[in-house]
């Protein structure tokens, strides 16, 4: 059984910068992260072991016991940062620059008279941050949401996208929005981040070569789910796991070529552990086949 790694996978620079900042010795036992720094359980555990406290969100501000707080890599609205400052906290910002580019882009569109629209998941923390400072907006995830545009009565739309969306999906949705008879003008800026796109392209290419894909990343990681979706679209069996101990030997029986990829929040050591375990499984299956042949 051959095992191949995707040409682009694992932590992106925005995630790694956020982790490095939060793990800085100056914060030991004196920092609370407001939200999940990145969507990866191993990272969260490492932070806790390093003395960092975590609260689910700013709505639980009363549970913050440290003076220093940190905004996650997913970004946050300015009003959230101001709320924390006004409550007496010192705020450190680990927002990914590519996420903040989305914030700046949509605000610029509003200033130019466009009604703001975000293509993404309305309940995702990144999207909540993007729209958090807007007076009005729409979040569109698929064609079923087009009725929202009609009901809003806005005919001049400024569209951005959550950074972890799939490019093909976004471009198709924008083309269909442009064709709506109740829309006159669409300004669109593709704000999918390059690392996300690179990983989607890499898994798309690898899926053409394998008969099984293992996708590593947090179960609540949007970009990791998109990697699974790419495999589903290509008809390739894929299993989404968070760690090596979730691998099932039965998945690999009669498989000739296994691919491994990982989302942008998945650390290298987690990928290595999965890779080693899969190589062990491959050897075990091969030895069993030799003994029974």
Q: Which residue numbers are catalytic?
A: 126
Please state, as a whole number, how many other Cβ atoms lie within 10 Å of the Cβ of residue 74.
Answer: 29
Give the torsion sign (CA, 149, 152, 155, 157). negative
- Lookup: tokens for 76: 């946050």
Distances in whole angstroms, Cα of residue 31 to Cα of each of 84, 100, 156, 222: 13, 22, 43, 26
Please state, as a whole number, how many other Cβ atoms lie within 10 Å of the Cβ of residue 89.
Answer: 19
* DSSP H stretches of helix in the chain: 13-22, 41-49, 78-86, 97-111, 125-131, 146-152, 167-178, 194-207, 222-233, 268-292
Q: At what angle do helices 97-111 and 13-22 cross, to 10 degrees?
A: 110
């Amino acid at each position: 059984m051959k095992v191949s790694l995707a040409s682009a996978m694992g932590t992106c620079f925005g995630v790694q910068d956020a982790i490095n900042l939060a793990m800085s010795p100056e914060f030991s036992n004196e920092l609370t992260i407001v939200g999940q720094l990145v969507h990866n359980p191993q990272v969260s555990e490492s932070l806790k072991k390093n003395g960092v406290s975590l609260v689910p969100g700013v709505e639980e501000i009363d549970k913050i016991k440290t003076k220093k707080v940190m905004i996650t890599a997913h970004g946050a609205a300015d009003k959230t940062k101001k709320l924390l400052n006004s409550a007496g906290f010192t705020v450190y910002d680990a927002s990914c620059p590519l996420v903040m580019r989305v914030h700046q882009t949509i605000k610029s569109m509003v200033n130019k008279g466009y009604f703001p629209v975000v293509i993404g998941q309305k309940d995702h923390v990144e999207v909540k941050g993007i729209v958090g400072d807007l007076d009005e907006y729409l979040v569109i995830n698929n064609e079923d949401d087009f009725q929202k545009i009609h009901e809003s009565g806005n005919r001049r739309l400024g569209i951005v996208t959550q950074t972890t969306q799939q490019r093909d999906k976004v471009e198709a949705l924008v083309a269909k929005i442009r064709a709506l008879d109740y829309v006159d003008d669409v300004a669109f800026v593709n704000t999918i981040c390059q690392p996300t796109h690179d990983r989607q392209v890499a898994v798309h290419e690898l899926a053409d070569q394998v008969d099984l894909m293992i996708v590593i990343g947090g179960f609540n990681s949007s970009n990791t789910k998109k990697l699974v979706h790419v495999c589903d679209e290509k008809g390739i069996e894929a299993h989404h796991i968070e760690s090596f101990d979730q691998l099932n030997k039965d998945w690999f029986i009669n498989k000739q070529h296994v691919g491994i990829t990982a989302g942008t929040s998945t650390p290298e050591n987690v990928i290595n552990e999965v890779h080693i375990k899969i190589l062990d499984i491959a050897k075990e299956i091969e030895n069993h086949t030799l003994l029974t042949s």
